[in-house]
C-alpha cells in the first residue's frame, strides 16, 4: 500500500471511530495515607473503580503518612522520561505539602489536580490559585470539611442532652481530639466543632488535643484526659481511628461507650460503620473519601476537551459528608462491598452527559 493510500485509509478509520487514542489517559495519585489505613485505602479503591469506569489508567503511590516521601514521589514522577510520565497527577495538601509538590512538578509537562485538601492562607502568597503561577495546576476539589465537624458535634450534643450526661455544674462537658495543626481539612473540621459549640449555651469544651490521626496517640492522650476531666461525657474526634483510641481509654476507666460516654468520629471504615450499628459511636460522618473519584470524573472530562473551569470554576468546595444512622450504615456497607462490582461514574460526567449543567457529586446518590 502506498503512503498516500495508507494515510487515506487511516483517515477513514478515524472518521468511522475505528481507531482509538494512542494510549489511555494516565493518572497518578500521590496518596498521603498509609497503604493499610482504612480511609486512604477506601479513597484509592473508589478511584480505582472510577478509573475503570472511565477508561483511565490509574497508578496509586502511597506516602505512608510521611510528608517527605510524598515529595519524593512527586520528584520521581517529574524525573521520569517524558514518555513515561503520567498525563495527570492527583495530590492533596496534607501536612501542607501542596506548595512544594507544585514546585517539583513545575516544568514536567504533567497536569495536576488537588483533591481532599487545598492550599489556603499564607501559602497562597507563594502558589497563587490554580492556573495563576502554575498553569499546569488545573484546579482543586475539596469536601466541605467543616460539615463533618459540625454534623458530628451537633448530633453528639443532642444525644448528650437526651441522655442527661451533664456534669455537676449542669453543663455538658466535651473533649475534642483533633487531627493535626497544618492540614486545612483538619482545621475546617475543628471549625465545624466550634460552630456547634457556639450554638449551644449549655456546653463547654474542656480541652482539645491533637493526636495526628493516630489511634495509638489518641489512646495515650485519652488516658490522662479521662482523669483530668471527670465531668466530660462527650468525646468529639476528627477521625474514626482517633475515636476508637479514645474509646479504649474510657473503657479502661470502666465506662461504657454509647451509654456512660458518647463518642463521635469521621470516616467510613467497616469498624466505624459497625460501631454506629451497635451504638458505640453516637455520631459518624463520612463520604469525603469519594473526592479522589470525583476528581477523576473532572480529569476525564478535561482530557476530552470539556474544561470544568467554564461551568464549575477552578476551586470547588463541595458538600460530601452525610451523617450515618444504623440503617444507612448497613446500606453503605452493602453498596461498597469489595465484590459489589464497578460503580458507574460515567453518569456524572459532563462530557458524556450533555444534558447535565453542573457536577452533582453526591455520595448519597450512590446509596439509593
Q: 259 in a domain, yes or no?
A: yes
> In terms of pLDDT, which residue wins out, 330 or 100?
100
The CATH number assigned to the domain holding 344 equals 3.40.50.2300
Closest CA to 54 of 254, 277, 319, 346: 346
Digit-coded pLDDT (tens) for 295-327:
999 999 999 999 999 889 999 999 999 999 999
CA gap 280, 264 in Å, rounded: 9
Question: What is the percent of the chain where pLDDT is above 70?
Answer: 91
- What pLDDT, on the 0 to 100 scale, is given for residue 11? 39
- What pLDDT, on the 0 to 100 scale, is given for residue 8? 42
Tell whether the torsion through CA atoms of 64, 102, 94 and 123 is positive or negative.
positive
User: What is the domain extent for residue 51?
Assistant: 22-143+289-324+339-367
CA gap 72, 75 in Å, rounded: 5
Backbone angles phi, psi at 84, to 5 degrees: -110, 0
Q: 273 in a domain, yes or no?
A: no
Q: 29 in a domain, yes or no?
A: yes
Q: What is the mean pLDDT of residues 49-71?
A: 95
Q: 14 in a domain, yes or no?
A: no
Contacts of 287 (CB under 8 A, 6+ apart): 143, 268, 320, 321, 322, 363, 364
Most confident of the following: 144-148, 184-188, 202-206: 202-206
Asked if 122 and 200 sit in the same domain, the reply is: no
Q: What is the mean pLDDT of residues 167-190?
A: 93
Asked if 298 and 354 sit in the same domain, the reply is: yes
Asked if 94 and 160 sit in the same domain, the reply is: no
Q: pLDDT band at residue 64, thresholds of 50, 70 and 90?
A: very high
Extended strands (E) in 40-153: 57-62, 88-91, 111-115, 137-143
Asked if 169 and 252 sit in the same domain, the reply is: yes
Q: Report whether 130 contacts 99 (CB < 8 A).
A: no
Q: 126 in a domain, yes or no?
A: yes
Asked if 160 and 244 sit in the same domain, the reply is: yes
> Is the backbone of residue 62 left (phi > 0), alpha (psi -120 to 50) or beta?
beta
Asked if 119 and 55 sit in the same domain, the reply is: yes
C-alpha angle 266/327/286, rounded to 5°? 20
- What pLDDT, on the 0 to 100 scale, is given for residue 283? 98
- What pLDDT, on the 0 to 100 scale, is given for residue 17? 37
- What pLDDT, on the 0 to 100 scale, is given for residue 334? 80
| pLDDT, the chain, mean | 90
Asked if 60 and 120 sit in the same domain, the reply is: yes
Asked if 225 and 295 sit in the same domain, the reply is: no
Q: 163 in a domain, yes or no?
A: yes
Asked if 28 and 137 sit in the same domain, the reply is: yes
Digit-coded pLDDT (tens) for 105-124:
999 999 999 999 999 888 99
Say how many domains are in the chain.
2
pLDDT at 1 over 70: no
Q: 1 in a domain, yes or no?
A: no
Listing DSSP states for 109-137 in one string gives: --EEEEESS---GGGHHHH-STTSS-TTE
- What pLDDT, on the 0 to 100 scale, is given for residue 9? 39
Q: pLDDT band at residue 92, thresholds of 50, 70 and 90?
A: very high
- What pLDDT, on the 0 to 100 scale, is given for residue 365? 73
Q: Where is average pLDDT lowest: 22-36, 127-141, 265-279, 332-346?
A: 332-346
Asked if 232 and 306 sit in the same domain, the reply is: no
Asked if 71 and 178 sit in the same domain, the reply is: no
- What pLDDT, on the 0 to 100 scale, is given for residue 338? 53
Q: 17 in a domain, yes or no?
A: no
Amino acid at each position: 500500500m502506498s503512503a498516500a493510500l495508507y494515510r487515506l485509509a487511516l483517515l477513514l478509520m478515524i472518521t468511522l471511530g475505528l481507531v482509538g487514542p494512542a494510549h489511555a489517559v494516565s493518572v497518578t495519585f500521590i496518596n498521603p495515607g498509609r497503604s493499610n489505613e482504612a480511609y486512604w485505602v477506601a479513597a484509592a479503591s473508589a478511584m480505582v473503580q472510577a478509573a475503570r469506569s472511565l477508561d483511565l489508567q490509574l497508578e496509586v503511590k502511597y506516602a505512608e503518612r510521611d510528608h517527605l516521601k510524598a515529595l519524593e514521589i512527586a520528584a520521581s514522577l517529574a524525573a521520569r522520561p517524558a514518555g513515561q510520565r503520567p498525563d495527570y497527577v492527583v495530590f492533596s495538601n496534607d501536612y501542607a505539602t501542596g506548595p512544594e509538590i507544585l514546585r517539583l512538578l513545575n516544568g514536567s509537562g504533567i497536569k495536576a489536580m488537588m483533591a481532599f485538601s487545598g492550599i489556603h492562607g499564607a501559602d497562597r502568597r507563594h502558589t497563587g490559585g490554580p492556573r495563576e503561577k502554575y498553569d499546569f495546576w488545573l484546579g482543586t476539589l475539596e469536601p466541605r470539611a467543616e460539615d463533618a465537624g459540625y454534623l458530628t458535634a451537633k448530633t453528639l450534643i443532642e444525644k448528650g442532652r437526651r441522655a442527661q450526661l451533664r456534669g455537676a455544674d449542669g453543663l455538658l462537658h466535651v473533649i475534642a481530639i483533633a487531627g493535626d495543626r497544618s492540614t486545612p481539612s483538619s482545621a475546617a473540621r475543628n471549625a465545624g466543632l466550634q460552630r456547634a459549640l457556639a450554638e449551644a449555651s449549655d456546653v463547654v469544651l474542656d480541652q482539645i488535643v491533637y493526636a495526628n490521626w493516630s489511634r495509638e496517640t489518641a489512646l495515650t492522650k485519652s488516658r490522662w484526659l479521662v482523669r483530668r476531666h471527670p465531668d466530660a461525657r462527650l468525646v468529639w474526634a476528627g477521625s474514626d481511628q482517633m475515636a476508637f483510641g479514645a474509646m479504649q481509654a474510657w473503657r479502661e476507666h470502666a465506662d461504657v461507650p454509647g451509654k456512660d460516654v458518647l463518642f463521635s468520629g469521621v470516616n467510613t471504615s467497616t469498624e466505624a460503620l459497625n460501631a454506629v450499628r451497635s451504638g458505640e459511636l453516637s455520631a459518624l460522618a463520612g463520604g469525603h473519601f469519594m473526592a479522589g473519584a470525583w476528581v477523576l470524573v473532572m480529569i476525564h472530562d478535561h482530557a476530552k476537551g470539556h474544561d470544568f473551569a467554564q461551568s464549575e470554576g477552578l476551586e470547588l468546595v463541595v458538600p460530601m459528608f452525610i451523617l450515618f444512622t444504623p440503617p444507612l450504615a448497613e446500606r453503605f456497607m452493602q453498596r461498597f462491598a469489595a465484590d459489589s462490582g464497578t460503580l458507574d461514574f460515567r453518569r456524572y460526567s459532563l462530557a458524556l452527559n450533555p444534558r447535565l449543567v453542573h457536577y452533582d457529586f453526591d455520595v448519597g446518590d450512590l446509596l439509593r
